[in-house]
Amino acid sequence: MNRSWTMKRATLLASILYAATSTVHPAPATPSSADWTLKGGNEYEQHFSRLKQINSKTVASLKLAWYADMPTLDGLTGIPLVKDGVVYQSGALGKAWAHDVRTGKLLWTFEPQIKFPMGIVPSWGSRLSRGLALWEDKVLKATGDCRLFALDRRTGKIIWEAQSCDPAQYKTITAAPRVGAGKVFIGNSNADTGIGRGHVDAFDIATGKHLWRFHTVPGDPAFGFENKAMEMASKSWTKEYWKTSGGGSAWEGITYDLRTNLVYIGTDGPSPFNPSMRAGGGDELFTNAIVAVNADTGEYVWHYSTTPGDGWNYAATFPVVLADLKVGGKRHAAVMSAPKNGFFYVLDAKTGKLLNQPKNILPVNWASGVDMETGRPILMPDAQYWLKGKEGAVVSPSPMGARNWMPMSYSPLTGLVYIPATDYPAKITADPGNAVGNVDIDFYYSLDTKGRFKGRLIAWDPLKQQARWQRDIGMPYQGGILATAGNLVFQGTTEGQFHAFDAQTGKTLWSFPVGSGILAAPSTVEIDGNQLILVAAGSGTTSSVGFAPRLSGSSNGPARLLAFSLKGSADLPTDTVSIKPFPEPVWPEPDPALARKGKDVWYVNGCELCHGFKVVGGLGSVPDLRRIASVRANLFQQIVRDGIFRYTGMPMFADSISEEDLPALRAYIAEQAWLAWRLQQSTEADDKRSK
């Protein structure tokens, strides 16, 4: 299909639909300083506060006001939301809590009882939670078994419950719901399996009634298309695409725009990853895209594809940030996005048209730039591993992206976007025998070769499309951002530090060791004339780095909710979750060839989602299999194939792991256990010699 004509037709269609269906609302009012009711702080999803009692001059006096230990083994990544003196926090396994924002006293707990047993995808997703939503008297909370709850904000009791997706169809929900226009919007994840079609649902926030569904990729034409948008999208795929391809999950990025009454949906890529294994060849709409739909009807208005025909898992699923920007001498309602692919986009909120030339925030080797006329990336051959045989290719950014889901922020005062960036390449090799994406990805390639392997905090000028300043933060995976009118930028780290930086220069002005990894973005409110900075912490599977923990820091402290103020006087216990030494493995050292076969079994069945890439995992409520005890080692078949732990969340694999596969799988786990134990022995010996 001719790309130029496709874009012109889509732009024309967007203009017609926008004029016909959109309702323009007034600019959002400044939220109460005592409340933080939306995930991004205001309707623009900016993660910005106009509070400035805590500022670049006073922040040195910032101290801990209180902390609350959370009754969970899994870490916290949801942003603390505040309304009428109560702070609300989400957790894994569908849990939510309410605390007194002045003291940290627990007020109520919600625990929905996840409907185990389930398959691997919803079982994995049940241990992830990126937050909740507030709307008037309700707390909105989604669960890994595809349910959406409205809770009474004062008691935690269920007001209504709705089913948004089907966990039996490899679906799960890991995101926070989004609210606007009297509705709650929610997407779902398929964990990159490529099974099924991504979609977003809208429910009536008062009653839970389902209002509309927007699919992000087309289905089988034999069953008809739901709307003109799906018919248009189908022409961007090659024939019989529905037999070999899927994806487009909207697993995190949904933003409601009060200015336009549009909902912006960020979508995941197509699957399998390897484009030569898909029925590809076109742009594969609406994968890797920002799609605008009418909030009242769910009808398509416009889209912008960031990585058409993706081969690198360069999702655009992260929430966009809204702003009113003066570009080319004209004021625009703008949408800003920094997807995984490494480029920064500024789009017109009404049409999806590029407002300026996108530039890369970090080094990229898959595209040399973006063509302003077509909006398409200008591809380079360097990262096209599917054409390089067994050698593969080093790809920058990695499939984890130049950034991931951790929120970025925008300060209208500095005009800068503050981005938690993930700077490291990975090596990808085409592997048609690998059922998960048909690729082999070495996420630790850059670490093992001592290449670029770091997290960065980047202050990005969206008008000039360049960095004002940037800081190396630590390991690649780090926390989300809060910017304030006090000329401050707050960010936590997975090494267990909470930092405040000068918003203009990036200079570190304050740090506090919290003893637990932080991935959530902070929030801030003013209570009784006292400004509080709130942040959730805790390493664990809900940090969503469980499958590749070497991408983050090593702080394994307990799950806690923390509040800081200039009048704080609390002390944080020094206790952390101790990491016990590796025991000598209970299984003998395996045959290397058998272990290699077991590696395929491990990844084909998605074991890394919960138990870790290269079996390096086991944070939170999921056990580290390298530490498997003899009693469970003797029950290996009953656990894996017979499902004796299926009611606690361990799926049963009788249909996909045969009895003949078990020795190989056990050999791979044993191999990694022996590697960990020998590395520990070597490190201990080095420590003794150094003393």
For 46, the token pair is 């900016």
CATH number at residue 641: 1.10.760.10
Q: Are 481 and 491 in contact, with CB atoms under 8 Å apart?
A: yes
* Position 231, amino acid: E
pLDDT tens-digit series, residues 244-299: 888 899 999 899 999 999 999 999 999 888 898 886 678 999 999 999 999 999 99
Give pTM, 2 decimals: 0.93
Question: Which pLDDT score is estimated for 604?
Answer: 86
Which residues are 378's β-sheet partners? 369
Task: Give CA–CA dist 171/173, Å, rounded.
Answer: 7
Rounded to an integer, what distance in angstroms lies between the CA atom of residue 486 and that of residue 209? Answer: 42
Q: What is the pLDDT of residues 83-119, one digit of tens each?
A: 999 999 999 999 999 999 999 999 999 999 999 999 9
CA separation, residue 428 to residues 272, 362, 400, 599 (Å): 13, 19, 12, 16
pLDDT per residue over 455-477, tens digit each? 999 999 999 999 999 999 999 99
Residue 497 corresponds to which tokens in the numbers above? 């530090």
- CA of 522: how far to CAs of 47, 259, 319, 563, in Å? 8, 26, 16, 10
| pLDDT score recorded for residue 609 | 84
Q: What is the token pair recorded at 297?
A: 């009807």
Q: Alpha helix locations (H) across 612-651?
A: 630-633, 636-640
Amino acid found at 671: E
For 383-414, what is each residue's pLDDT tens digit?
999 999 989 999 999 999 999 999 999 999 99
> In a 10 Å sphere around its CB, with 0-12 CB exposed, 13-18 middle and 19+ buried, how is residue 650 labelled?
buried
User: Taking 60 as the threshold, does the pLDDT of residue 19 lie above it?
Assistant: no
Question: Residue 526 pLDDT more than 80?
Answer: yes
The reported pLDDT for the residue numbered 313 is 94
Going by DSSP bridges, is the β-strand pair 416-423/377-379 parallel, antiparallel, or unpaired? Answer: unpaired
Q: Backbone dihedral region of 643: left (phi > 0), alpha (psi from -120 to 50 degrees) or beta?
A: left
Examine the pLDDT at 10 and tell me if it is beyond 60. no
Residue type present at position 221: P
Please tell me the total count of domains within the chain: 1
On whether the CB atoms of residues 255 and 334 are closer than 8 A, the answer is: no
Of 129-138, 554-563, 647-656, minimum mean pLDDT range: 554-563
Closest alpha carbon to 267 in 282, 255, 281: 255
Share of the chain above pLDDT 90, in %: 76
Confidence of residue 23 (pLDDT cuts 50, 70, 90): very low
Task: Name which of 38-47, 572-581, 625-634 the model is least confident about.
Answer: 572-581
Length of the chain: 691
Average pLDDT, the chain: 90
CB contact at 8 A, 283 and 235: no
- Given a cut of 80, is residue 681 above it in pLDDT? yes
In this prediction, residue 16 carries a pLDDT of 36
CA–CA dist 249, 195 (Å, integer): 10
> Tell me: the pLDDT tens digits for 481-516?
999 999 999 999 999 999 999 999 999 999 999 988
* Domain membership flag for residue 275: no
Kindly state whether residue 633 falls inside one of the protein's structural domains.
yes
453, 424 contact by CB (below 8 A): yes
455 in any annotated domain: no
State how far the Cα of 537 lies from the Cα of 514, in Å rounded to an integer: 8
- Given this model, what pLDDT does residue 618 score? 63
Residue 514 to residue 301: CA distance in whole angstroms: 45
Q: Give the residue carrying structure tokens 């389930």.
A: 118
The answer to the question of residue 43 being in a domain is no
Identify each DSSP E strand in 328-438 by its residue range: 330-337, 343-348, 359-360, 367-370, 377-379, 393-395, 409-411, 416-423, 426-430
Return d(Cα 140, Cα 131) in angstroms, integer: 9
Answer whether 113's CB lies under 8 Å from 161's CB: no
Is residue 188 a part of any domain in this protein?
A: no
Whether 44 is covered by a domain: the verdict is no
**What's the pLDDT at 20?**
36
Segment 152-174 mean pLDDT: 96
What does the DSSP 8-state code read for residue 348?
A: E
Q: Quick one: pLDDT band at residue 540, thresholds 50, 70, 90?
A: low
What CA–CA distance (Å, rounded) separates 287 from 406?
Answer: 20
- Residues 598-613, mean pLDDT to the nearest whole number: 88
Residues ≥6 apart with Cβ < 8 Å to 564: 62, 63, 64, 65, 498, 512, 532, 533, 534, 535
In angstroms, the CA 222 to CA 619 distance is 45
User: How many beta carbons lie within 10 A of that of residue 472, not counting itself?
Assistant: 9
Is residue 617 a part of any domain in this protein?
A: yes
The three-class DSSP label of residue 662 is helix
Q: What percent of the chain has pLDDT over 70?
A: 91
Instruction: Give the domain range for residue 612.
Output: 592-690
Q: With respect to residue 659, please indicate whether it lies within any of the assigned structural domains.
A: yes
